[in-house]
Structure 1
Amino acid sequence: MQRKIDHGRDEEAVRRFVERLALDLVATGIPRMPARIYAALLVAEEGRGTAAELAEFLQVSPAAVSGAVRYLTQVALVTRERDPGARRDHYRVTEDQWSQAILQQDVLFTQWERTLREGMEAVGQASPAAARLAETWEFLQLMREEIPVLVDKWQARLAALRASQGRG
């Protein structure tokens, strides 16, 4: 989106890839426009772009970009930054975005656990509904225990990958 560097890049193939990846992300529950913006930022040479650059690349309105990046910043996949002296914001793929997005879920899991406990009390501890709620609560407990372990493993793997690419 910023400066053009030719690494054998096929812009038409890149655009098709962005749309395919966006569809895959939509299938996971990410809204369509944020999925397209995220995919476009992933393929940007510097991993960032302005609202105008993203709108031009995706052939959408700047307003559509604005709403989409708001969502992406809330889920920790994108950050907003401004160069010193610049008037335009740039949106950047968050460094280690997946770890940050997953770790952010811990707050939600804690809230859900409290709500599930209330639900178990409301339906009666011995009811089939309470059993289903308890299974959901246990799953969230497992997730909260395992996510930090997985993130640590990922960060070690990411460091090794970056070192092998000379980006350590």
Structure 2
Amino acid sequence: MSSTDPSATTPATRDERRVSRWIEEFAGFMVLSGIPRMPARVMVCLMADDRGELTSAELSERLKISPAAVSGAIRYLTTVHMVRRTRQPGSRREIYKVDRDVIYQASVGQLPLMTRWEEMLRDGIKTLGAETESGRRLAESAEFIHFITEELDGLLERWDAHRSRQSPTHRS
């Protein structure tokens, strides 16, 4: 395999400047998708780490950001189920970790929120009146959220089935 073949890249042969550029590029895309900039950068940095875990100091150093910026980003990312906090055994130092199936887990974490969105919209319909223009707007939104939630739940089930058929090396 040639040295330009991505499958031939190892941690020892990676171009760290290229990795940094990719982190910033992917984080920029995540920002366009609605994720705040600093959480996006932290998330992608964690995803790019072979262990999938870094300390606050490591994130600060790699991204050239303050510990406070890391803290705020981690707070956001844990809220949306994209990062989890762990500790080294016998240490008080926190480690921030992304799992191999981070996007799946974040999607699963959205299901209860989407259900709550639908409930709140339906409460709004009762409050505003189903026959008012605002009530109809909320009803359309509630139906859409209901549809998306059911579809996402089905997609996640199909993904689980698909992954269970894969070889053990492809599982989370």
Does residue 124 (structure 1) correspond to residue 94 (structure 2)? The answer is no
Secondary structure (helix, strand or coil) at the match of 2:54 reads strand
Shift of 1:12: 0.2
Secondary structure (helix, strand or coil) at the match of 1:100 reads helix
Identity %: 43
Q: Which moved more, 1:121-130 or 1:43-52?
A: 121-130
Which residue among 11, 14, 21 is the counterpart of 1:16? 21
Q: Give matches, 1:103-142, under 5 Å.
A: 103-142=108-147
Secondary structure (helix, strand or coil) at the match of 1:91 reads strand
Secondary structure (helix, strand or coil) at the match of 1:94 reads coil
Shift of 1:160: 4.9
Which residue among 57, 64, 77 is the counterpart of 1:72? 77
Q: Deviations over 1:117-162 (max 9, x none)?
A: 222223322222222211111111112211121112223334455x
Does residue 31 (structure 1) correspond to residue 63 (structure 2)? The answer is no
Q: Deviations over 1:82-126 (max 9, x none)?
A: 121233211111342222212222222222222212222233222
Secondary structure (helix, strand or coil) at the match of 1:46 reads coil
Asked if the contact 2:111/2:153 (under 8 Å) is kept, the reply is no
Q: What is residue 157 of structure 1 aligned with on the other side? A: 162
* In structure 2, C-alpha distance between the alignment counterparts of 1:106 and 1:27, rounded to whole Å: 22
Asked if the contact 1:76/1:94 (under 8 Å) is kept, the reply is no
Asked if the contact 1:76/1:101 (under 8 Å) is kept, the reply is yes
Q: Give matches, 1:43-58, under 5 Å.
A: 43-58=48-63
* In structure 1, C-alpha distance between the alignment counterparts of 2:19 and 2:115, rounded to whole Å: 39
Gaps of 5+ in 1: none
Aligned residues: 162
Q: Normalization by structure 2: what TM-score?
A: 0.85
* In structure 1, C-alpha distance between the alignment counterparts of 2:72 and 2:98, rounded to whole Å: 16
Amino acid at match of 1:23: G
Which residue among 52, 58, 64 is the counterpart of 1:59? 64
* In structure 1, C-alpha distance between the alignment counterparts of 2:37 and 2:76, rounded to whole Å: 11
CA RMSD of aligned residues (A): 1.9
Asked if the contact 2:163/2:170 (under 8 Å) is kept, the reply is no
